[in-house]
């Protein structure tokens, strides 16, 4: 009895092992009908067969967790079906020759979804992609890429509507930004390239673009009324151009990185004109400035100021030619007043300072020291009628020791104060008579 029991147990064990290792058609009709077919890999098909191949509806389950449930033709997925991926994503739709082909919906595990046309397992044709973050693309696809015409709407409210190539904006299109900015024009590989117009809250630009930047010829018009027409480089005014300010002032010439730099012409609405060299928006180098009131300067400039050698003619026809520093006469120069008086000598901060000579139109002259436009220091004044003073000066007056020789023949040599004989002195009249004494306010106070 015990021997029989052991034999039965062994038989059952061999039967279980045989069933566990059974492959191929394990049940049903796997030639023409319904059946179950198990592959050596562990993959399994349950469904309809015809001529020994999967034909009709069936379920194919792989050991890696993927599964297809749908229609077959000659061992290939064909018709309607659902494909479950091991990562949790899923496709529901048309199949052809074993591939997703036709209309269908692909669900990503991230929550994104594609609804549209497929060709050979790729999004191709018309389709809509719903992104998990709320973005949405509706349009044409090719080989899994946005390709053709389509509209991409972003969760921020921005959108692009236009041509695409391999997933990138490429061709003509329109882009609206969340801040209100709007672009319409050409794209190349996701960047603005070609011709286009961008409109913002503050300006409108129409012209050339390269790699997303304003580059080439273009026109930029500000809402304030200012305008630039000319060359651009990497979003800067750069090259030749014309800038018109909202107040009507105009500059035409060279630009470097948004600045007037090079040679150009600047005109104000009042009528003032500068022609010459610029640097960083300022007159710099050689140039000519004609003020609306008629004044004119021709010469050197630095940081917007007359600086260096130059000639200035005022609207009253006075003329200065010489050195300038920080917009003021400074250094050596010649100044001729509108009345004809002429000064030649040293200037400091716009005034006669140092040594010089002034000749008046009436024939009088002074040569010597100056301070703040006044005779100061040692100098000689020759009066138009021939009288002469040679000596010390202070604040425009004879002051200190000096000699006055009159054309009438008298002579005074001694101390002066505020333009008058004052202090010790010696006086000789035209007849040769001399007096020595102390003078007070031009009068002999006491003889010595």
Nearest Cα to 412, choosing from 396, 394, 436?
436
Q: pLDDT (tens digit, 9 = 90+) per residue, 10-40? A: 333 333 333 444 899 999 999 999 999 999 9
Give the model's pLDDT for residue 448.
85
pLDDT in tens, 39-61: 999 999 999 999 999 999 999 99
pLDDT tens digits, one per residue of 394-448: 999 999 999 999 999 999 999 999 999 999 999 999 999 999 999 999 999 999 8
Q: What distances in angstroms separate CA 247 from CA 226, 243, 252, one per listed residue? A: 8, 11, 15
- What is the rounded CA–CA span in Å between residue 241 and residue 265? 11
Mean pLDDT (whole number) for 272-285: 98
Burial of 422 (0-12, 13-18, 19+ CB in 10 A): buried
The model's pTM is: 0.80
Distance spanning both ends of the chain, measured CA to CA: 176
Note the pLDDT tens digit of each residue in 355-405.
Answer: 999 999 999 999 999 999 999 999 999 999 999 999 999 999 999 999 999
- Cα–Cα distance, 439 to 33 (Å, whole number): 149
pLDDT single digits (tens) 200-232: 999 999 999 999 999 999 999 999 999 999 999
Q: What CA–CA distance (Å, rounded) separates 411 from 405?
A: 5
| Average confidence (pLDDT) over 306-310 | 98
């Amino acid at each position: 009895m015990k021997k029989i029991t052991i034999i039965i147990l062994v038989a059952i064990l061999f039967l279980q092992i045989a069933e566990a290792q059974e492959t191929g058609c394990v049940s049903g009709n796997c030639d023409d009908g319904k059946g179950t077919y198990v592959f050596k890999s562990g993959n399994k098909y349950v469904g309809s067969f015809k001529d020994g191949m999967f034909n009709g509806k069936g379920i194919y389950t792989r050991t890696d967790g993927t599964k297809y449930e749908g229609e077959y033709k000659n061992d290939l997925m064909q018709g309607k079906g659902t494909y479950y991926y091991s990562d949790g994503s899923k496709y529901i739709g048309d199949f052809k020759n074993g591939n997703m082909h036709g209309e269908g919906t692909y669900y990503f595990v991230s929550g994104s979804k594609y609804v549209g046309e497929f060709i050979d397992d790729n999004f191709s044709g018309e389709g809509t992609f719903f992104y998990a973050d709320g973005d949405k693309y509706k349009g044409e696809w090719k080989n899994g890429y946005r390709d053709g015409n389509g509209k991409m709407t972003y969760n921020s409210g921005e959108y692009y509507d236009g041509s695409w190539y391999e997933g990138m904006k490429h061709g003509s299109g329109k882009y609206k930004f969340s801040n209100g900015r709007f672009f319409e024009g050409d794209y190349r590989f996701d960047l603005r390239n070609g011709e286009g117009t961008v409109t913002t809250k503050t300006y409108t630009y129409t012209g050339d673009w390269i790699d997303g930047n304003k580059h080439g010829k273009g026109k930029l018009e500000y809402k304030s009324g200012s305008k630039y027409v000319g060359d651009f480089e990497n979003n800067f005014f750069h090259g030749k151009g014309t800038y018109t300010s909202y107040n009507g002032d105009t500059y035409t010439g060279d630009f470097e990185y948004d600045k007037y730099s090079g040679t150009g012409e600047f005109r104000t609405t009042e009528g003032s004109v500068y022609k010459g060299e610029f640097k960083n928006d300022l007159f710099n180098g050689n140039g000519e400035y004609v003020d609306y009131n008629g004044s004119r300067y021709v010469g050197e400039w630095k940081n917007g100021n007359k600086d260096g050698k130059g000639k200035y003619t005022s609207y009253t026809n006075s003329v200065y030619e010489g050195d300038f520093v920080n917009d003021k006469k400074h250094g050596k120069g010649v100044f001729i007043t509108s009345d004809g008086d002429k000064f030649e000598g040293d200037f400091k901060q716009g005034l006669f300072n140092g040594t010089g000579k002034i000749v008046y139109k009436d024939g009088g002259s002074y040569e010597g020291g100056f301070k703040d436009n006044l005779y100061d220091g040692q100098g000689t004044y020759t009066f138009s009628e021939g009288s002469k003073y040679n000596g010390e000066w202070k604040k425009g007056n004879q002051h200190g020791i000096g000699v006055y020789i009159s054309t009438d023949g008298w002579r005074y040599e001694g101390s002066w104060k505020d333009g008058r004989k004052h202090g010790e002195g010696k006086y000789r009249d035209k007849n040769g008579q001399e007096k020595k004494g102390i003078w007070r306010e031009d009068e002999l106070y006491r003889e010595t």
